[in-house]
Chains A and B, each alone.
Chain A
Amino acid sequence: MSRCVLLRCAAAAAVVAATLVAAACGGDDTPTDVVLVTHDSFAVSKAVEQAFERESGLTLRILQGGDANEVLNRSLLTAGDPQGDVVFGIDDSVLSRAVGGDLLEEYRSPELSTVEPDFANPDPHVTPIDHGEVCLNVDRRWFASRHVPPPKTLADLILDRYRNLLVVENPATSSPGLAFLLATVATYGDPGWQTYWRGLRANGVRVVDGWEEAYTQQFSGASGSPGKRPIVVSYASSPAAEVIFASKPLATAPTAAVEEGCYRQVEYAGVLRGAHNEDGARKLIDFMLSERFQADVPGSMFVYPVRAGVPLPEAFVKHAIVPRDPLQLPAAQVDANRDRWVARWTEIVVR
């Protein structure tokens, strides 16, 4: 019957499937790997990755997905029987959950002594690797062509001349969105920030779920963007990225970061409890603090090194800023209030 013909097709398909899966499975995991669990934004130059593999004799495998918060949640789900050996990308806003979740082994890297004093005394479970500042970015051409000065402070954003110009990320779903909310809390205090956000809402702020949509689709300054809004919440380093990734060499960045009102996020790495290769995990963390990896951090991930005296790439010196006095709230205060602030923010801004 036709069914037999079909089943023969099915059998043939099964053979193909088995062969392909077997081929893909080839090279089973051995203890010569070290597995890094990290977020979508992690990146490293090939040469630097190979240097690590050469020096340590270990193969580096990378599992990435989601933002810092989602990476932490996946790690919490598998705590004690982790997917990898090292987790990277935990930031201040989720640090106390990571430490409280019995997720990490304590480790104090000998390389910590090379770290700038601002970052040198972290919780013993984590090691600082980089820092980035969430700042307002403006489309320079938009403001120049209209002879309007770009905003200089958070307070400017509720002025009438900036009506319907700002796009921000939802703090419930985006880490720069949360950082910007924290910046307003740090500036206006609790509950003063709520009045400020009522002002932003009245002035036509647009809220989107993630950085991708805000920056690449709503912000007019990003190259190739169909966006119409000239002010966005992004990073201090974004203007440098516009220059580095431009298709034709640019003398000046099309965008600029606003130095006032920037919020600092520090990213940490930690050894996962139950790691298959604990020794390799420590080696990887040491390597992430080495001069070589730290010098690669700006060009690969568009954040700044924590190691003292590491030179920045030229595009960063010329086009990006390192905010002098970035805003920051104590991790414990953020952790205790985050959910309540976000819920209140949702009521004020979205509902």
Chain B
Amino acid sequence: MSENTKQVKQLDRVIIRFAGDSGDGMQLTGDRFTAESASFGNDLVTLPNFPAEIRAPQGTLPGVSSFQVHFADHDILTPGDAPDVLVAMNPAALKANLGDLPKGATVIVDTHDFSARNLVKAGYDANPLEALDSPGSELDGFNVHPVDLTGMTVGAVKEFGLSRKDAARAKNMFALGLLSWMYGRPTEGTETFLARKFAKDAAVRDANLTAFRAGWNFGETTETFVVRYEVKPAPMAAGTYRNITGNLALSYGLVAAGVQSGLPLFLGSYPITPASDILHELSKHKGFGVTTFQAEDEIAGVGAAIGASFSGALGVTTTSGPGIALKSEAIGLAVMTELPLLVVDVQRGGPSTGLPTKTEQADLLQAMFGRNGEAPVPIVAPQSPGDCFDAALEAARIAITYRTPVMLLSDGYLANGSEPWRIPEVADLSVIDPAFATATNHTSTSTAKDGTVTETEEFWPYLRDEETLARPWAIPGTAGLEHRIGGLEKGEGHGNISYDPANHERMVRTRQAKVDRIAESLPPLVVDDPSGRAKVLVLGWGSTYGPIGAGVRRVRRAGYDVAQVHLRHLNPFPKDLGEILARYDKVLVPEMNLGQLSMLLRAKYLVDAVGHHQVNGMPLKAAELAQVIGELVAQAEGIPADQLDLSVATSQEVHQ
């Protein structure tokens, strides 16, 4: 593409939101922009946001789909609180997203769909683009660029003989081309991608490529845009990187768990948003011995996984909160039979069907307690999209080593969000030893009437390893170890049915002790307290790692001390957590629920945890967190409210 002669302005970070109708291809556009930014070397975090309906009524507010990408020349943690740039493909997209923009933000609007009918559908009384300069206009104070993206797209691809409707569908590539020009993104990746994606239809392929290039050239030649921006690559640790979403990383982590343990992976699953992509992804990897069983319902999914585990595979079931509710009884069976099992819960807004495509962390207590009886289940939670890989491996380590179901709590934000991921060396991944039982483990003696003592070698399925308290895993096909397990209470050691009260008491306590014992295998927590003087600790878990980290950085930039700890293990808690909590005057626990971790911490450590709760289906925002953290720091440090200056920490920077 031609030499650019326009002014180039340096920025350290930019947040762009692409928004349009569900059918406008905004997710694809965002994905491509992300891939271009990733290959350019920026750090980045993304936030796709789309309706639960596949095609909500066209042009309406509920039908708006968006994709936000935050890219920077430095290490960033969140998709950004407020976009610097909004690309709105129709009136509804403008209406639905404008409220999230700070004044001064750039708005690029496709004017083509601003017809009277579409304006009404979006809830506009008048065309907001017609009163741009009049004070009181809702677009007053924004840097608005009305452009007929659709019209120009149709014009550019005329030669390919597509219908007007099909030609117009390439408008998202025109928009991508324009934004790619504006931010100096490399274009080769998108060109290759389009050629591959539309390989079967030359006209569609050429139309998309042409629209993409036309968008770039429009930026280059038009006088509407006078400035290009440059966001330099971010310094990152040496290594090979790729962009990855949480669901993809989690899928790869499961495949890796199979390879590292030498066990065939067996996924029993029923489709559910936002977890289905894991089923789709794993179904592509049969070559790794991965079986994917799409069951008739959630219960059959976990049932088949338990059966596979019994027979010596690594059984996995993937779902979201409603599915966990259905699987609860079967998870209890896995607790009782002490079989390895991975239960992946990609959390979404609840209760009931709730908000299928939005994020939430409100299944923690369900994961912890959502079964009948005393049924402890270890819980592991990833903290970022890429971390889903490591968290899946860690969950598998616990499940296999301790012969227990393990809950892996991801969420909608991690599932669909993406970030650059440093690809690990397979040689550096830990090996998991399934350590199948191969021989009898108990000698029974019986004395006949004549006094002769007979010794019999037996296999006792509930005779435990002293260190881990795990029982032996003897799989069918192993001669001499035939045994029966089930949901009825087991006799200690021999594992036969036992209704003995004292035995039940011992077994309940032993199952709990086994899960507690996992804490012995956990590394010390990482306490991020650079000054060592902080009086406030911010403690989080799961996907809030990014927003909390960003909020903490902002508060530190404003000159205040604050410490951060993030939990990967929610059950059992790491051994040093209690001591760390006791070190700080105040503990803040931000969560995307009404205080579930707070409740567990208060119960276990008698700590006066302060909650910060948000359940709007969206990730926490760094500026809001900075305000909350700052106020708590002020209280702890005795700073009068009127002297607390968080302006650096809570400002919405706008770059254009």
Partners in one complex: no
Residue numbers of B with Cβ under 8 A of A are: none
Residue numbers of A with Cβ under 8 A of B are: none
